[in-house]
Structure 1
Amino acid sequence: MTVRHDPIPADSSADATTDPAPRPHASAEEVAAARSDTKLAQVLYHDWEAETYDDKWSISYDQRCIDYARGRFDAVAGDQPLPYERALELGCGTGFFLLNLMQSGVAATGSVTDLSPGMVKVALRNAENLGLPVDGRVADAETIPYDDDTFDLVVGHAVLHHIPDVEQSLREVLRVLKPGGRFVFAGEPTTVGNFYARWLGRATWEATTRVTKLPFLADWRRPQQELDESSRAAALEAVVDLHTFDPAELEAIATAAGADGVQAKTEEFAAALLGWPVRTFEAAVPAEKLGWGWARFAFTGWKSLSWLDEKVLHHVVPRGYFYNVMITGTKPLATD
């Protein structure tokens, strides 16, 4: 069976109604085809996840996630005057990063783009529910469908590792930025961090799904159909996660793309050692089994270990051992 993967139009004048429709349920044939077509895999996987993504990753648009998003931004660009007039989120997902940054006062208006029509749909719905002035397009990060010198700020969270040609995408980011405009990308996996996070995730999933087969824990087990669906999604996830980054190498990529003032910082070492088993466990058991007490444990545990990372471990652990890398830079000012 041949699965058609229509190209994303790059014309900034195209109306949003021309964007492709979401495909929330991928067939086995589509999944098979996606193994050799990474951009099709991106669309199928993220369309699949769009309607449940916020719940899966405990994403919200309240003070908890506003503070989290703003903390990531301030870690690399906190000394800049605010607000930026117009911001773009690349690979927006459900809009988590930009919408929470806008709520914190980082940007006045926004645009969201993603290769997944399902994610753009959810991001725009979230923006509307929050009363934020945001437009959106289905777009390939390597050919951003906006004119030169359009945005004051471009942001992204956990997106660069999905893009086949990261340097080309950053060239596009610099093209659509106004001279002196800034980009901030956060939530990218380091090479070492990704190794231990994946290992912890697999071990937790295997242990949880095995233990919940015991009769007296049967009500802690998700229906087999849901577990099978998660396994199929995980198969696509292995295709869509294309890169991990050494912080110095990511700085070199951004500099080669033409950015000025490039700086990368890392975070989450002890916090990641807790966070990945917690998130995997949450995905493996029925949501109704995890109440407010669990949520409080997960959040306070993450905050405490993040404090340990920032105040202590950053001084003794090499930056490449932390799980997340953030990077910022600016578009060079125009010269005569």
Structure 2
Amino acid sequence: MGAASVDPKPNPHATAEQVKAAYDDPKLANVLYHDWEAGTYDEKWSISYDERCITYATDRFRAVAGGVGPYGHALELGCGTGFFLLNLMQGGVIERGSVTDLSPGMVEVALRNAENLGLPVDGRVADAERIPYDDNTFDLVIGHAVLHHIPDVAAAMREVQRVLKPGGRFVFAGDPTDIGNFYARKLGQLTWWLTTNVTKLAPLTGWRRPQEELDESSRAAALEAVVDLHTFDPADLERTARGAGATEVRAVTEELSAALFGWPVRTFEAAVPRDKLGFGWAMFAYRTWQRLSWVDENVLAKVLPREVFYNVSVTGRKPVA
């Protein structure tokens, strides 16, 4: 399957007409939203390419796929800024990588991040439902928080099976469960309302972000509702993967108390001026999230059904013959 000779350019400043059209076109919405986010995405989600995120990425991968690897050539779908692939490469899980995303801006940033890290990565703008690579190309296909953005997840899974080598593995991590998405959204909405209203009080106006920034964040949040297309039941996600022809399919979930803490924290951070929250706050938030994740994995996961946790990850293989 041939790729287009020239990828489209990033468009971080969409027109009002383009944004209006995006409400009826989820793929266009994904391009516009993620092009707009590309330059600040790592900062927004506290993404780094050091030991903290290397450990996070490799732990997430091994939690669902086991301690296997390294994989020779991996493809990341919906790569964003390259968080998952680049940190797995640094963690020794992957030797060589390719990145794809609908958003030209995200592909551009991912490739720049790879170059800065000295990692062997190529990339192109591509639709996960029509992956522009030949059959039997990759040892591994991965994605992080991407399945919920893809209109036809079953079609994407079939494409994943096509481009995998026989015996190759896929790992998709970090997508929202049906129940987890419900409580995360409600907590985020409540935190946004409380923070933006409490900071109107005279003694706290210094903690209020400028109105134009709040308006921009609100517009982004509105478009985010268009790009987030799915939530998942773990068993249904397993059935979708098997229906695409995968074997050894397994879905696992994580984050309950960590999500109940993390979503209000991220929303609060988006609602106040960035210079108000320093390194001490960042370490408090991260360390607390770490401790709660330990509780989720070692205590709550042993007694609660997997459906109540926030994140779901799924893995499987392409049959050998």
TM-score by length of 2: 0.98
Shift, 1:326, TM fit: 0.5
Q: 2:2 aligns with which of 11, 17, 21?
A: 11
User: For residues 239 and 165 of structure 2, what CA distance do their matches in structure 1 show?
Assistant: 22
Q: Which amino acid aligns with 1:151?
A: F
Q: Which amino acid aligns with 1:157?
A: H
Q: 2:130 aligns with which of 133, 139, 143?
A: 143
User: For residues 151 and 99 of structure 2, what CA distance do their matches in structure 1 show?
Assistant: 20
Q: Which amino acid aligns with 1:59?
A: I
Q: Does 1:153 align with 2:140?
A: yes
Shift, 1:11, TM fit: 2.1
TM-score by length of 1: 0.94
Q: 2:264 aligns with which of 277, 283, 289?
A: 277
User: For residues 20 and 209 of structure 1, what CA distance do their matches in structure 2 show?
Assistant: 37
My pick for the range that moved more, 23-32 or 320-329, is: 23-32
Q: 2:15 aligns with which of 27, 34, 55?
A: 27
Q: Does 1:59 align with 2:47?
A: yes
User: For residues 294 and 222 of structure 2, what CA distance do their matches in structure 1 show?
Assistant: 34
Q: Does 1:190 align with 2:177?
A: yes
Q: Deviations over 1:172-209 (max 9, x none)?
A: 01111100000000000000000000000011111111
SS in 2 for 1:283: helix
Shift, 1:285, TM fit: 1.1
Shift, 1:237, TM fit: 0.6
SS in 2 for 1:262: strand
Shift, 1:316, TM fit: 1.4
Q: Which amino acid aligns with 1:292?
A: F
Runs of 4+ in structure 1 off by over 6 angstroms are none
Shift, 1:219, TM fit: 1.9
User: For residues 206 and 73 of structure 2, what CA distance do their matches in structure 1 show?
Assistant: 48
Q: 1:73 aligns with which of 44, 47, 61?
A: 61
Q: Which amino acid aligns with 1:191?
A: D
SS in 1 for 2:47: coil
Shift, 1:28, TM fit: 2.2
User: For residues 212 and 311 of structure 1, what CA distance do their matches in structure 2 show?
Assistant: 38
My pick for the range that moved more, 230-239 or 20-29, is: 20-29
Shift, 1:113, TM fit: 0.2
* Total equivalences in the alignment: 321
User: For residues 137 and 40 of structure 1, what CA distance do their matches in structure 2 show?
Assistant: 17
RMSD: 0.9
Q: Deviations over 1:89-117 (max 9, x none)?
A: 00000000000000000111100000000
User: For residues 120 and 215 of structure 1, what CA distance do their matches in structure 2 show?
Assistant: 43
Q: Does 1:257 align with 2:244?
A: yes
Q: Does 1:231 align with 2:222?
A: no
User: For residues 213 and 100 of structure 2, what CA distance do their matches in structure 1 show?
Assistant: 29
Identity of aligned residues (%): 74
Shift, 1:216, TM fit: 2.1
User: For residues 59 and 184 of structure 2, what CA distance do their matches in structure 1 show?
Assistant: 22
Q: 2:306 aligns with which of 281, 301, 319?
A: 319
Q: Does 1:41 align with 2:29?
A: yes
User: For residues 203 and 19 of structure 2, what CA distance do their matches in structure 1 show?
Assistant: 35
Q: Which amino acid aligns with 2:53?
A: C
User: For residues 200 and 113 of structure 2, what CA distance do their matches in structure 1 show?
Assistant: 37
Residue of structure 2 in register with 1:97 after alignment: 84
Q: 1:213 aligns with which of 176, 200, 223?
A: 200
Residue of structure 1 in register with 2:119 after alignment: 132
User: For residues 256 and 274 of structure 2, what CA distance do their matches in structure 1 show?
Assistant: 27
Specify every segment of 5 or more residues in structure 1 that has no aligned partner in the other structure, as ranges: 1-9
Shift, 1:156, TM fit: 0.3
Shift, 1:303, TM fit: 0.7
Q: Deviations over 1:201-251 (max 9, x none)?
A: 011111111111122222211111111111111111101100000000000
Q: Does 1:296 align with 2:271?
A: no
Residue of structure 2 in register with 1:177 after alignment: 164
My pick for the range that moved more, 189-198 or 23-32, is: 23-32
User: For residues 204 and 17 of structure 2, what CA distance do their matches in structure 1 show?
Assistant: 35
